[in-house]
Amino acid sequence: MRLTILGGGGFRVPLVYRALLEDRGKGRVTHVTLHDLDASRIATIGRVLAEQAEGVPDAPEVRVTTDLDEALAGADFVFSAIRVGGLEGRAVDERVALQEGVLGQETVGAGGIAYGLRTLPVADHIARRVAAVAPDAWVINFTNPAGTVTEAMSRHLGDRVIGICDSPVGLGRRVAHALGVDPAAVWLDYAGLNHLGWLRAVRVGGRDLLPGLLQDEDALTSFEEGKLFGGEWLRTIGAIPNEYLHYYYFNRDAVEAARAARQTRGAVLIDQQRRFYSDTSGSALDLWENTRLERETTYMAENREAVGAGERESCDLESGGYEQVALALMRAIALDERTTLILNVRNRGSISALDGDAVVEVPCFVDANGPRPVAVDPLPDHAQGLVTSVKAVERAVIEAATTGSRQAALRALAVHPLIDSVTLAGRLLERYEQELPQLGYLRGRN
């Protein structure tokens, strides 16, 4: 199989390549094309991949290019893992929002909206080129905000674009360990949008083990989500939320912690990755591994500090997220190795409160025909309210990006549950337009 990675100079690409090296089965990926607009970043990642491949027989061949159509030609699968505006853009997203007193997280609230407005025009262009150059390829979208980007790309690619996220699989793995069961043996009743979902049941042999876990305070608070949300709140809602719901349920705490921090998350990552991409001495792989560990250790550190959750457990610092989901997805489609994965796909009636084309995050049966979402039980009112509100925001962001409508961009900001004023939304939009050149397409448009 031939795999193309868009954003091939990105920091997490070696995770994907390591998973490919470990895959020794039939039908494995034999050729990898890295595409990136930054030749120096892609050269650095190329050195890491070369070290990873040392001593591995028949390691996938790697080539690099800055030409999009060249990268897409002949691809069986395309990973889209781009970051429009780089980490510097993310730092602007965060800083502007926090200065206005609201959350600036990468995918949630004002920061997520700014990131989407910046990214969707590029994602739209990529989807059009895939349709023209590699119409039989499957696109696996890593790019955040993943649900919004996947839905925008699906307007050109239909069901051949699939969004993935490591949050649900990480949650499922942690819950299974807390229950003392094999993660591969559980059925996760999970539903929502990307970074806005709830685990409502954990079934093994037809029995739901979640009610017992909710009543076991020690087991419940032994893993990251239990520490973040607290046992009392999890019992109150009768589910375990995706970690990103901490920004909704504990918004004031999260904003205060972020404003008190010395640096925003984006600024921290800029410092970490600047050292990695600029250091050409010694082993590129060793430097990447050390930087990755530092990155994972500090993940959501402000949220954990805000609620006294302590440091991350060692098991949560291991990889096995995006890259393993992507590999399982590719093998299921290419080799008809039927499996079940939690994916971002078009709804098709899975969540009754949303229309069929809305991209949702739900369990899917996957085989050679691609993923088919499983119909899930209706969301409780409190969850359904959040899902429908945030989906309206995502749709407004897509409208703004595809039509250039400034009004749609303003509406996206103003109706988001974490932004409490139209006046504030207008101020945020003006500041983002001033500081993010990628939003120039909105200026002067109604």
Segment 256-294, tens digit of pLDDT = 999 999 899 899 999 988 888 988 788 999 999 999 888
Q: Is the pLDDT of residue 409 over 80?
A: yes
Segment 8-37, tens digit of pLDDT = 999 999 999 999 999 877 789 999 999 999
Which residues fall within 8 angstroms of residue 236, CB to CB, at 6 or more apart? Answer: none
Among 38, 107, 37, smallest CA distance to 361 is for 107
Would you give the DSSP letter of residue 343? Answer: E
Q: Is the pLDDT of residue 323 over 50?
A: yes
Q: Is the pLDDT of residue 385 over 70?
A: yes
pLDDT of residue 299: 60
**H/E stretch holding 339:** strand 339-346
Amino acid at 18: R
Pairing assessment for the beta strands 187-193 and 2-6 based on DSSP bridges:
unpaired
DSSP secondary structure of 229-261: H-HHHHHHHTSEE-GGGHHHHTHHHHHHHHHHS
Q: Is the pLDDT of residue 423 over 90?
A: yes
Angle at the Cα of 305 from the Cα atoms of 302 and 306, rounded to 5 degrees: 85
For residues 27-58, one letter each, b for 16 or more C-beta atoms within 10 angstroms of the residue's C-beta and e for the rest, the string is ebbeebbbbbeeeebbbbbbebbeebbeeeee
Q: Is the pLDDT of residue 304 over 50?
A: no
pLDDT of residue 372: 97
Among 14, 50, 5, smallest CA distance to 291 is for 14
CA 348/CA 328 separation, integer angstroms? 22
Q: Is the pLDDT of residue 301 over 60?
A: no
Among 208, 315, 204, 193, smallest CA distance to 242 is for 193
Would you give the DSSP letter of residue 165? Answer: -
pTM of the predicted structure, to 2 decimals: 0.92
pLDDT of residue 279: 81
pLDDT of residue 308: 57
Tell me the mean pLDDT in the region 45-74.
95
Residue 292 CB neighbours (<10 A) = 18
pLDDT of residue 297: 76
CA 67/CA 39 separation, integer angstroms? 11
* 310's tokens: 């302590």
CA torsion through residues 149, 196, 83, 16, sign = negative
